[in-house]
Amino acid sequence: MNKPVAQNAPDVSFADFQRLIHDMYFEKDRARGIDGTFMWLMEEVGELAAALREGRKENMLEEFADVLAWLATIANVAEIDLSEAIEKKYGAGCPGCRQFVCCCPNSGKP
């Protein structure tokens, strides 16, 4: 299976990243709340869409990181462990077909 990231990329777990975001921003994030934070996430998703259209790798790297950071922020405020969520949803394979290489029809999710 091909790894979709660069061979020399640092390996950061979701748990480590979520903890980093919590330590840096939690007091501000909690004060802003989930609704305000969700609006920031949507803004970053829009910026990611623009970066993908432009195709500039440096900009895409930045916007992917921003989207993940705001997602971790919402998870922190909502008291959701992203690692637990990922394991529950995808730990046994595709949620649709339960295979580790999805064989669901292309006509629907996933």
pLDDT tens digits, residue range 92-107? 999 999 999 999 998 8
Looking at the structure, give the CATH architecture of the domain made up of residues 14-79.
Answer: Orthogonal Bundle (1.10)
Nearest to 34 by CA among 80, 68, 66: 80
pLDDT at 2: 46
Q: CB neighbours of 74 closer than 8 A, spacing ≥ 6?
A: 34, 37, 38, 41, 80
Other CB atoms within a 10 A radius of the CB of residue 45 amount to: 14
The reported pTM is 0.83
> What is the dihedral angle through the alpha carbons of 74, 75, 77, 80, rounded to the nearest 10 degrees?
160
Nearest to 49 by CA among 64, 70, 68: 64
Q: Which has more pLDDT, 7 or 59?
A: 59
